[in-house]
Structure 1
Amino acid sequence: KESDLVFEPMPFQHPLAILYSSGTTGLPKCIVHGAGGTLLQHLKELVLHTDIGPNDRFFYYTTCGWMMWNWLVSGLAAGATVVLYSGAPHAPSSPPKDPTRPDQPDMLWTLAEAEELTVFGCSAKYLALMEKEGVKPRKSHDLSQLRTVLSTGSPLPPQSFEYVYRDVKEDVQLASISGGTDIISCFVLGIPTRPVHSGEIQGPGLGMAMEVQGPSRERLTGSAGELVCTKPFPSMPLYFWDDPDQSRYRAAYFEAIPGVWRHGDWAEETASGGWVIHGRSDATLNPGGVRIGTAEIYRQVEAFDEILEAVAVAWEVATDGTHVSGVDTEIALFVRLRPGEILDEQLTHRVRARIRREASPHHVPKTVVQVEDIPRTVSGKVSEIAVREAIHGRPVLNHDALANPECLGIFRALRTSRGG
């Protein structure tokens, strides 16, 4: 009963939640977030950047362990109806929406139709999978109420933009958003009043002093560098759990580039005012001294129907060419293929040729290897760092954060088979 509810007043930044970072690049961080700053940030992003209000039906496919769950729940503060789903995202509809393809994995699009969703959120990998599986909701589902499609978790490549506007719905705002568990919100995201450019995030969040900085801390436009935030913002963590002197907090964000928040993303601010995330800056590739973001390679690899998933890492080489700690690095590309497909010489050539043509000769992997599985975190993110450490025989620090650590043996064996 309403009369029985008692709300105890708390300080504005009373601890709200403990979130663990995904552990994609290292040991998970145990992050304590505050109530007031989180709510302010979420309301800004949901109401102003996503245009969510009382008439909206808002869905984001997420587990309760991903920060997108917290972001979704804040939709209630915007007055929206929040739609939840518990189940496999790639399950087929029952009964099938398209009788000619009863096994197509379109369950979430059927949910979007049934619940008349206005805002649909998913991961970039989900959209890539939908395209590979030939799912075309525009032909099989009534998505007339859908206004916005949100994507996060990894960079959204241009071909996924093309897929959404071609096969999902023509008149939607496709907003790729990027931030992290560390800030329980976004650095760059959608802006409803600006055009959508393929492969780009529309712009920085309101009040977020975002820059891309070069080696001398100069601001860059049109080339890649470190993504930084130069001023405080409401949803900065209160502290890390069991970090009484805040030394780990400072080391995580402020020591690499003093005076600014360095998030660890390798990014680019484009001439149009958009933003591109090229990958994690600590997982960038540096063959021959040319720094490359892994997303630049994934954009090309994901175009192949035969390839379900890929991971690109730097393989250290000595001057004699053996794969050991040395003075240079080569790009190694590991691919997981569809059942029944084989990485033969022809497919390898096609992959390398596309990367050379659409990216550059510097992006072409020296080694391309088919693997049965690729390590990913419990939130579904591919862990490039785990692969890199495994192929060099070094300890994998984020082992406990992986959903499938058993597959690391595949990569450790490669070190033995290839020398070093």
Structure 2
Amino acid sequence: MNEIKWYPSQERVNNSNMIRFMQFINQKLDTDLGHYDQLYKWSVDHIPDFWAALWDFAGIVASQPYDRVVDNLDKMPGANWFPGARMNFAENLLRYRDDRMALSFKAETADSYQISYAELYNRVACLARSLKDRGIKPGDRVTGFIPNMPEAIIAMLAAVSLGAVWSSCSPDFGIKGVLDRFGQIRPKMLIAADSYRYKGKSIDCLDRLSRIVDQIPSIQTVVVVPYGKNRSNIKSIANAVHYDEFVSSENGLEIEFVQLPADHPLYIMYSSGTTGLPKCMVQSAGGVLVNQVKEHILHTDLTRDDTIFYFTTCGWMMWNWLTCALAVGATVVLFDGNPFHPDPGALWQMAQDERITVFGTSAGYLAALENTGACPGIDYDLKSLRTILSTGSPLSPEQFDYVYTRIKQDVQLASISGGSDINGCFAGGSPMGPVYSGELQCRCLGMSVKAYDENGQSVTNQRGELVCTAPAPSMPIFFWNDPDGAKYRAAYFKDYPGVWCHGDYIQITETGGVIFYGRSDATLNPGGVRIGTAEIYRQVETIEAVADSVVIGQRWGNDVRVVLFVVMKEGCILTESLKDEIKQVIRSNASPRHVPAKIVAVMDIPYTLNMKKVELAVKNVVENQHVTNREALSNPDSLECFRDLPELKY
């Protein structure tokens, strides 16, 4: 069992939303649930009762109640959630109209500015009126090519208030990356920023925007949002209009929230697209709402008194997730720019200034922060901070140590994991239980998560495939351009029909926690033994001279050999003695089977636009296979570092 890094005080447990929810269920259904393990088991054994209780506890706003929670729990994919209900997603996020702070926006070195709940409602009302006047109606796609700024949230809420379907990309996407996404879904309107800032530089978006619009003929209107104070010249962009000219100037408008079925499409999310065109995953308003509200209220213990931040862009599902905190009435902090500009403490200065209580980030950010030697807990006043969330890749025990020694000792470090596929989490945090080093605290309520061994049997304390054996509300209702559902079934159900196979390699521990070992499609198989890539990264991160790494399994002879690529820190060289040191650390702390057959120095490592390492693309280059979608990478030129390497010829 791993070391306990944190345990909640009894006061914190007693005051948690999770305890209140448990008491709510005990009273309502005459149960006797007393701790999280009992609550979790009940939630997956009584799935309709759980989601019905969550619906009531969260106060979901609906003009018409559902007839039943779900039509058929044995149907996956295809279960219909909350049939009969009529509702609107935006109405649930705009239920508050007071002077409490809704949004606080910070752009690199600029001062932050705030928008109250009342002002947010008014801004959404004005934009919604203009969208309606331009003919936006239920089912139309409205897209955003925009930084993480208030106008992105305002545009999303205005669009979905009318029943339109929202989809977004961040402005660091290249032209092909945007076309591969928006080109498939044929949007009627595009809302885009004229520029954004990164590392203190202003980066113009208008040339790319013009070329994107020229190649998507379905776009009838382009609304251009100024990132700075000055208007840009938009004459080169077809059907373009300035944001301030487009938005209604009427005062006191009421939003006409279009009431729609709970399974009406809300978002179109995208797979990473590293193995072909991105899959367009369509998710429902009711499903996303109840799942994200569950995660905010119960797993994150969020209240109106909280200030929540997540370092994300509009091209990552964590933006959609963060936005739903408005349904709780919390203050949402938005940041746009480089998190290390002007220095590594940028986000922690913001955490201090904004009195952030829930700070969300990625394992990659925490690793990069540690490499700078930063000590946020010493340099900044973080007394307001009670929870740190991390996702994107497995969080190593060493990173747990870093958080608790250099950031804050009394903080809940909740590593969470799910995906764009479900716009939420399969495993996450619990305010009721301890934090074990290297583990996610729990499987999320209502998600029937198991680990399957190679025989398709559920196992505990053994590694296996992450599966979900029952439907959940935020699973996609369909894939775009997939009329017979073949792409959808192939994505998750080909290995175990009727069971969602997520593609992660995990272990469910005896304490109920979850350890992630990386993507199962990147799992290494030397000698037929499955090894998670995260196990190797965990050891390499302890090597002072190594800045970054990626590991693959290279086909060699009739087997697979493990190849580790490393990026060296400035001034460091990969010597034979350093290779021996790396191998010894891996052998001692993992196993002899984890030891790479080859260790090769490279200049760069490929990452997706959402900052995830792309092991499969590296493997394809090494084995002279085609990489189908370089536009899905933030640094596609890095792939050339792995081509025709002489070290891999013998």
Please tell me the residue identity of whatever aligns with 1:72.
L
What is the DSSP-based 3-state SS (H/G/I as helix, E as strand, rest coil) of the residue aligned with 2:269?
strand
TM-superposed CA distance for 1:397, in Å, is 2.5
2:588 aligned residue (351, 357, 360)? 357
Check conservation: 1:26, 1:385, Cα contact below 8 A: no
- Length, aligned pairs only: 400
Check conservation: 2:274, 2:630, Cα contact below 8 A: no
Q: Determine the structure 1 residue equivalent to 2:534.
A: 295
Q: Determine the structure 2 residue equivalent to 1:403.
A: 634
Q: Determine the structure 2 residue equivalent to 1:419.
A: 649
Verify: 1:68 aligned to 2:307, yes or no. no
Is the radius of gyration larger for structure 1 or structure 2?
A: 2
Distance 2:510 2:290 in 1: 30
Q: Determine the structure 2 residue equivalent to 1:339.
A: 570
- TM (normalized to structure 2)? 0.60
Check conservation: 1:121, 1:150, Cα contact below 8 A: yes
**Which segments of 5 or more consecutive residues in structure 1 lack a partner in the other structure?**
94-104, 319-326
Distance 1:301 1:27 in 2: 33
1:47 aligned residue (281, 284, 297)? 297
TM-superposed CA distance for 1:211, in Å, is 0.3
Distance 1:418 1:203 in 2: 41
Deviations 1:35-63, CA, capped at 9 Å, x for gaps: 11001000000100000110000000000
What is the DSSP-based 3-state SS (H/G/I as helix, E as strand, rest coil) of the residue aligned with 1:33?
strand
Q: Determine the structure 2 residue equivalent to 1:10.
A: 260
What is the DSSP-based 3-state SS (H/G/I as helix, E as strand, rest coil) of the residue aligned with 1:334?
strand
1:184 aligned residue (414, 423, 429)? 423
Query: After the TM superposition, which residues 1-400 of structure 1 pair with which residues of structure 2 at under 5 Å, given as runs?
Result: 1-23=251-273, 27-93=277-343, 105-318=344-557, 327-400=558-631
Q: Greater CA deviation, 145-154 or 12-21?
A: 12-21
Please tell me the residue identity of whatever aligns with 1:311.
V
Deviations 1:88-124, CA, capped at 9 Å, x for gaps: 012235xxxxxxxxxxx11011110010000000000
- TM (normalized to structure 1)? 0.93
> Aligned-pair RMSD on alpha carbons?
1.3
Check conservation: 1:24, 1:384, Cα contact below 8 A: no
Distance 2:254 2:638 in 1: 53
What is the DSSP-based 3-state SS (H/G/I as helix, E as strand, rest coil) of the residue aligned with 1:255?
coil
**Which segments of 5 or more consecutive residues in structure 2 lack a partner in the other structure?**
1-250
TM-superposed CA distance for 1:24, in Å, is 5.3
Check conservation: 1:56, 1:81, Cα contact below 8 A: yes
Check conservation: 1:62, 1:68, Cα contact below 8 A: yes
Distance of aligned partners of 1:111 and 1:3 in 2 relative to their CA distance in 1, 3 Å threshold: same
What is the DSSP-based 3-state SS (H/G/I as helix, E as strand, rest coil) of the residue aligned with 2:606?
coil
Distance of aligned partners of 1:345 and 1:419 in 2 relative to their CA distance in 1, 3 Å threshold: closer
Distance 1:40 1:53 in 2: 16
Check conservation: 1:316, 1:330, Cα contact below 8 A: yes
Check conservation: 2:275, 2:627, Cα contact below 8 A: no
Deviations 1:57-88, CA, capped at 9 Å, x for gaps: 00000000000000000010111100011110
Distance of aligned partners of 1:27 and 1:352 in 2 relative to their CA distance in 1, 3 Å threshold: farther
Q: Greater CA deviation, 331-340 or 110-119?
A: 331-340
Distance 1:127 1:25 in 2: 28
Distance 2:273 2:378 in 1: 39
Please tell me the residue identity of whatever aligns with 2:649.
G
Please tell me the residue identity of whatever aligns with 2:362.
S
Check conservation: 1:24, 1:382, Cα contact below 8 A: no
TM-superposed CA distance for 1:342, in Å, is 1.1
TM-superposed CA distance for 1:200, in Å, is 0.2
Distance of aligned partners of 1:377 and 1:152 in 2 relative to their CA distance in 1, 3 Å threshold: same
What is the DSSP-based 3-state SS (H/G/I as helix, E as strand, rest coil) of the residue aligned with 1:413?
coil
Distance 1:25 1:200 in 2: 29
Deviations 1:201-256, CA, capped at 9 Å, x for gaps: 01111101010011222111111011000000010101111111110000001111
Check conservation: 1:24, 1:381, Cα contact below 8 A: no
Distance 2:643 2:528 in 1: 26
Distance 2:307 2:577 in 1: 47
